[in-house]
């Protein structure tokens, strides 16, 4: 996929329902669509997985739009990446058991990426699989986690080390929910949108670069979902072009894991991925043909948007260890997705430890 | 499926490779076939999941036939159903992480049903799925667990409450391994073979009934796998006819769970299923047209083969609780597979608590 493969970036004001892999992604009046989905489905029971934040800020609207149904049981977990640990997943399974969930039950994942990843995994394995839908409430989960059928949980802080490829039955993207989000969470989602531009669509990247990204529009969200959906439809199991979505994530995930374990106020996913994209843009400049001007443009755009993070090189061995555990690796070699130019990804680049250290060093010395 | 749908019971001495759902089940010279599979596959690493029994009695033969390969890591767990608990699954995942397993790794499940269920689940979810093959070493796993693509683990002793439908890449059935088994384990597998006859093939049932089942022949094993494979190929996700395989299992699983928790010397799976089949044959007589002569024939055959178990009716409430958690239920109602006659199953029979108690009582008063 290259820039010439995608449409030029005219944002679509109609925002039709997007067809994905045997399921629909609803944008327009999406909670009414959810009500219709529930009405038409042959489900015995409904469970809403939520965290304390979405229970407070999003669940009331969901209840209201669904006519405050009584046959819903709520499973509430703590907010935050820690809740993706296997122990919390066991907690969700046990609550489903205790509530008497059967194979005709539906799990509604109301929340951000933690809720959709964890809820998707719990549902896809409970009694060998019950149906689930996503109602993503953060920008990050609307443009990323809720689309593509990846589920995942963490063990020992290794992100998504356990998971399945299982499609939701539908995704309901409600722009209204974004209004409840703090600015930092909006920026976390923006990182994935910028990535979509960098890997596939230079026009979209340029548009985002010139926009006030503290107030993302629903049309921008829609465009990002169109790009992500196109990629995952073409390669659902990440055999080739889906790997493009991993740009920034080899180093970004390692930095995120490090921060999760060591920082009191951990980096958000987007903040970590922004760091990863800068480091991997540098590797792209060294290895796959990204120009020095493009490297400077990416670096400047991302450092303007995201706070600086003190990346200490004395911890780089630990970061490399985390990278070595990355799912994308083969034969113990670290496999990165890079860019050949802005709007064009390059997959399957084996990077040596020295190269990765150089990438980290580039960011550390900015 | 009825008796008229299946071949009459002439045991096939040729035992060709059986084609299943995108994978092969090898009978003839199967460990040589495994060696060829490994040789031809593009795998980076190999892991053998085994327990202390198969490590002692089966692993040496496997190593020998594979030419004692060096690039195999062994993951050994304790023998027994307790090892199917989620905690042991986490242990397997952590060992795969520590050994540096990547997405191109192959997991070889060498053992009985616990190994194939647990190993299949661990592999199907590790890094969102790595390849696995089964080398079943017990009669039970050869005729049942290794075929059909069900994986599963237990939580709080609730059997297979968590799992996936994931096909192995191949199954290698080595009759040689059965020679290492104690008589009680052979009889445990025989229960599933008898079930295959009862649900689908009266001729096969008659043949088994008249045979010395302490020395099962390889042709009998082959015939059972043919029957099971035919059922699961037609309905891989248990929407309809695959439910036939649950005959004896609603009550049998509950009795098995009870015994696992309370008895020092727990019932084997087959012993519990034999009890379940007697109780559910009684329900079949009451509800779905099994004749009294057939009920007597099934009862006599199974009580002759399996030791009597003291089923105390004061514990029946606990047994009903276990049955209520059964995956096959809908809307909190207990759903049984019964027989209309020997060789013909009848699915989706809702049984009341009183009926189930009657079934248990029938066995208790034999």
Alpha carbons within 13 A on the beta-carbon side of A98 = 10
Which pLDDT does position A5 carry in this prediction?
A: 40
Q: Is A332 on the interface with B (CB under 8 A)?
A: yes
Active-site option among A134, A242, A243, A287 = A242
Can you tell me the mean pLDDT for A324-349?
90
Q: Report the gap between the CA of A280 and the closest CA in chain B (Å).
A: 22
Q: Which two tokens stand for residue A73?
A: 């049981």
Q: What is the pLDDT of residue B145?
A: 86
> Which residues on chain B are in Cβ contact (under 8 Å) with A155?
90, 93-94, 97
Distance CA B316, CA B312 (A): 7
Distance from the B178 Cα atom to the nearest Cα atom in chain A, whole angstroms: 30
Picking from A44, A121, A125, the nearest residue to B331 by CB comes out as A44
Closest Cα in chain A to B154: A127
Mean predicted confidence (pLDDT) in A208-215: 89
Predicted confidence (pLDDT) per residue in A264-287, tens digit: 999 999 999 999 999 999 999 999
Chain B residues in contact with A161 by the CB 8 A cut-off are 93, 97, 126-127
Q: Which residues of A touch B44 (CB under 8 A)?
A: 330-331
pLDDT at A3 over 70: no
More confident residue, B128 or B21: B128
Task: Give the pLDDT of residue B69.
Answer: 77
Q: Is the pLDDT of residue B161 over 60?
A: yes
Instruction: Dig out the tokens for A254 from the structure.
Output: 């390692």
pTM score, whole prediction:
0.89
DSSP H helical ranges for chain A: 30-40, 52-57, 59-65, 86-98, 113-125, 139-140, 183-200, 202-210, 218-234, 249-262, 269-287, 292-305, 316-324, 353-364
- Return the residue in B128, B154, B257 with the most chain A beta carbons within 10 A, the one to mutate for interface testing: B128
Q: How confident is the model at residue A326 (pLDDT cuts 50, 70, 90)?
A: confident
CB of A286 within 8 Å of any CB in chain B? Answer: no
- The partner residue sitting opposite B331, judged by closest CB among A102, A324, A331, is A102
Of the given ranges (A6-20, A309-323, B247-261), which has the lowest mean pLDDT?
A6-20
The first and second tokens of residue B230, run together, are 């035919």
Express each pLDDT in A5-35 by its tens digit: 444 556 666 778 999 988 999 987 899 999 9
B329 vs A: CB within 8 A: yes
Round the CA-based radius of gyration of chain B to a whole number and report it: 20
A351 and A328 in contact (C-beta within 8 Å)? Answer: no
Which range has the worst mean pLDDT, A97-106, A326-335, B132-141, B289-298? A326-335
> Boundaries of CATH 3.40.50.1970 in chain A?
18-180
Residue B5 pLDDT exceeds 70: no
Per-residue pLDDT band for B9 (boundaries 50, 70, 90) equals: low
Q: What is the mean pLDDT of residues B185-204?
A: 96
Q: What is the pLDDT confidence band of residue B12, given thresholds at 50, 70 and 90?
A: low
pLDDT level of residue A328 (50, 70, 90 thresholds) = confident
Cβ neighbours of B97 in A, within 8 Å: 155-156, 158, 161, 325
Q: Which of A190-204, B212-226, B269-283, B290-304 has the lowest mean pLDDT?
A: B212-226
Average pLDDT over residues A137-165: 93
A215 or B74: which leads in pLDDT = B74
Q: Helix B202-210 vs helix B183-200: angle between axes, to the nearest 10 degrees?
A: 150
Average pLDDT, rounded, for chain B: 92
The rounded mean pLDDT for chain A is 92
What are the chain B neighbours of A329 within 8 Å (beta carbons)?
Answer: 102
Pick the CATH number of B2-9+183-364 from 3.40.50.410, 1.20.1090.10, 1.10.3720.10, 1.10.10.10: 1.20.1090.10
> Mapping DSSP to helix (H, G, I), strand (E, B) and coil, where does residue B11 land?
coil
Torsion of CA A31, A242, A189, A179, to 10 degrees: -10
Do the chains contact at B162 and A125, CB–CB below 8 Å? Answer: yes
What's the pLDDT score for residue B6? 40
**A350: closest CA of chain B, how far (Å):** 15
Percentage of residues of chain B with pLDDT beyond 70: 96
- CATH for A18-180 (1.10.10.10, 3.30.930.10, 3.40.50.1970, 3.30.465.10): 3.40.50.1970
How far from A215 is each of A145, A236, A274, B228, CA to CA, in Å? 20, 31, 18, 58
Quick one: average pLDDT of A222-246?
Answer: 93
Note whether B44 contacts A: Cβ–Cβ < 8 A. yes
Contact check, Cβ <8 Å, B161/A126: yes
Residues of chain B with CATH 1.20.1090.10: 2-9+183-364
| pLDDT exceeds 90 at position B43 | yes
**Angle, to 10 degrees, between the axis of helix B249-262 and the axis of helix B316-324?**
120
């Amino acid at each position: 996929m290259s820039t010439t493969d995608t449409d030029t970036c005219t944002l679509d004001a109609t925002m039709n329902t997007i067809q994905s892999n045997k399921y629909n992604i609803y944008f327009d009046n999406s909670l009414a669509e959810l009500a219709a989905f529930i009405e038409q489905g042959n489900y015995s029971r409904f469970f809403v997985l939520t965290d304390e934040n979405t229970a407070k800020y999003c669940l009331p609207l969901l209840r209201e739009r669904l006519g405050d149904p009584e046959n819903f049981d709520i499973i509430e977990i703590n907010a935050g990446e820690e809740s993706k640990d296997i122990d919390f997943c066991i907690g969700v399974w046990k609550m489903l058991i205790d509530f008497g969930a059967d194979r005709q039950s539906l799990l509604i994942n109301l929340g951000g990426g933690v809720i959709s990843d964890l809820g998707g995994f719990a549902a896809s394995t409970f009694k060998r699989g019950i149906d689930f839908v996503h109602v993503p409430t953060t920008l990050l989960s609307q443009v990323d986690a809720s689309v593509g059928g990846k589920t995942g949980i963490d063990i020992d802080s290794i992100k998504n080390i356990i998971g399945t490829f299982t499609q939701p039955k539908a995704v309901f993207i409600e722009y209204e929910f974004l209004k409840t989000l703090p600015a930092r969470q909006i920026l976390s989602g923006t990182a994935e949108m910028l990535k979509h531009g960098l890997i596939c669509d230079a026009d979209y990247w340029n548009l985002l670069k010139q926009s006030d990204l503290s107030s993302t529009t629903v049309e921008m969200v829609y465009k990002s979902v169109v790009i992500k959906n196109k990629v995952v439809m073409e390669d659902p199991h990440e055999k080739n072009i889906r790997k493009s979505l991993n740009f920034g994530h080899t180093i970004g995930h390692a930095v995120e894991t490090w921060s999760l374990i060591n920082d009191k106020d951990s980096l958000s996913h987007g903040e970590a991925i922004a760091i990863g994209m800068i480091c991997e843009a540098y590797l792209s400049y060294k290895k796959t043909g990204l120009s020095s001007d493009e490297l400077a443009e990416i670096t400047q755009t991302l450092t303007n948007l995201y706070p600086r993070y003190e990346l200490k090189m004395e911890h780089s061995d630990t970061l490399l260890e985390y990278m070595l555990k990355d799912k994308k690796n083969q034969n113990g070699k670290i496999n990165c997705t890079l860019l050949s130019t802005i709007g064009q990804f390059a997959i399957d680049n084996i990077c040596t430890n020295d190269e990765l250290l150089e990438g980290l060093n580039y960011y550390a010395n900015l």
